[in-house]
């Protein structure tokens, strides 16, 4: 199947929340992940819908295009190899598509990593904190940060942590305003995101990624998610909104317990900033270089536990 200038190699498949579907496609001899957004859809010239409705649809499409173009341009300005950027965004037969760098499958994410030693967990969380800091420095909010959106990519004896899937992302200066345009996994959802989903007033900032980082850090370090103490509360955002207690594992070092608990603050401004996240997870001097024992240890672990081939 041909989509514009892209030739689809695989059928489209729906993933995640179902707001988009993707396939592997080629263009000019290169492979890409090609994603089709299910909404919005541009009205056709032959549409029988009332003119007023068509005008609303066109206005929504125009806003969608403007925000996506601004987001993808900002992604190209993120320092370092911290994100898998979108390389193309276009409309075809009334539908919107984006193309991003193809990553060889199967690949590891924080979701597939399994249990790892604390030293390696700290090293990976430092890289994640650094990625978030560089993303936020460009005014970008990921808005759907969770383990499956944190790519762990092997390069020789090193591993890169890169953020993927910016479907819910936005620029902090221009956040989504309509509840239908706000998405997120309830397990990692910040309280202010939930409020906006419900149509209630709340400001969406980069600190909603900090809330998710706290849950990811707890899970990567201990193997389990933190949980609300109140049995009637299923999600962390529920506990935060009610100022309820959140139970953290005793396996966490004292500094990390404090950091993660602060990450779950109801008030976004009370959460740690990116610099503090990075400093607390920063490697000791002997691990500070790319060829450190920590990185090599991770490489050996991934080969042994996950059967990655050597090069």
Tens digit of each residue's pLDDT (9 = 90 or more) over 145-177? 999 999 998 766 567 899 999 999 999 999 999
pLDDT band at residue 50 under the 50/70/90 scheme: confident
139 dihedral zone (left: phi>0; alpha: psi -120 to 50; beta): left
> Nearest 10 degrees: CA dihedral of 239, 214, 68, 79?
160
Tens digit of each residue's pLDDT (9 = 90 or more) over 205-227? 999 999 999 999 999 999 999 99
CATH code: domain of residue 62: 3.30.200.20
C-alpha 5/C-alpha 20 separation (Å) is 19
Same domain flag for 222 and 276: yes
* Domain range enclosing 120: 108-306
Residue 146 domain flag: yes
Point out the domain boundary residue: 67, 84, 101: 101
Same domain flag for 116 and 10: no
First to last CA, the chain: 34
Tens digit of each residue's pLDDT (9 = 90 or more) over 73-114? 999 999 999 999 899 999 999 999 999 999 887 789 999 988
Residue 16 domain flag: yes
Point out the domain boundary residue: 44, 76, 101: 101
Same domain flag for 133 and 262: yes
pTM equals 0.89
- Strand 30-37 to 95-101 pairing: antiparallel
Tens digit of each residue's pLDDT (9 = 90 or more) over 252-298? 999 999 999 999 999 999 999 999 999 999 988 666 554 444 444 44
Residue 311 domain flag: no
pLDDT at residue 310 in the model: 33
- Mean pLDDT for the chain overall: 89
Same domain flag for 298 and 156: yes
Q: Which of 44, 180, 37, 175 is closest to 53 using CA atoms? A: 44
Same domain flag for 273 and 155: yes
Question: Number of folded domains in the chain?
Answer: 2
Same domain flag for 93 and 134: no
């Amino acid at each position: 199947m041909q989509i514009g200038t892209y030739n689809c190699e695989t059928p489209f498949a729906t993933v995640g929340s179902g707001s988009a579907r993707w396939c592997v496609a080629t263009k000019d001899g290169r492979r890409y992940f090609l994603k089709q957004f299910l909404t919005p859809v541009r009205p056709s010239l032959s549409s029988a819908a009332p003119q007023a409705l068509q005008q609303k649809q066109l206005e929504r499409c125009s806003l969608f295009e403007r925000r996506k173009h601004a987001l993808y341009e900002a992604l190209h300005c993120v320092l370092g190899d911290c994100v898998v950027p979108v390389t193309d965004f276009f409309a075809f037969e009334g539908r919107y598509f984006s193309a991003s760098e193809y990553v060889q499958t199967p690949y590891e994410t924080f979701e597939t990593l399994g249990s790892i030693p604390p030293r390696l967990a700290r090293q990976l969380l430092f890289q994640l904190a650094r990625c978030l800091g560089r993303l936020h420095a460009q005014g970008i909010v990921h808005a759907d940060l969770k383990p499956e959106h944190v790519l762990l990519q092997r390069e020789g004896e090193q591993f890169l942590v890169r953020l993927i899937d910016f479907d819910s992302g936005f620029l902090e200066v221009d956040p989504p305003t309509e509840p239908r345009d706000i998405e997120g996994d309830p397990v990692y959802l910040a309280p202010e995101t939930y409020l906006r989903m419900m149509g209630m007033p709340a400001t969406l900032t980069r600190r909603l990624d900090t809330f998710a980082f706290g849950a990811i850090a707890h899970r990567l370090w201990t193997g389990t998610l933190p949980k609300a103490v109140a049995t009637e509360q299923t999600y962390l955002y529920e506990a935060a909104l009610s100022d309820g207690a959140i139970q953290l594992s005793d396996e966490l070092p004292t500094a990390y317990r404090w950091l993660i608990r602060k990450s779950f603050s109801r008030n976004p401004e009370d959460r740690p900033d990116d610099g503090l996240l990075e400093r607390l997870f920063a490697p000791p001097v002997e691990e500070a270089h790319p060829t450190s024992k920590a990185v090599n240890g991770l490489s050996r672990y991934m080969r042994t536990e996950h059967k990655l081939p050597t090069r």
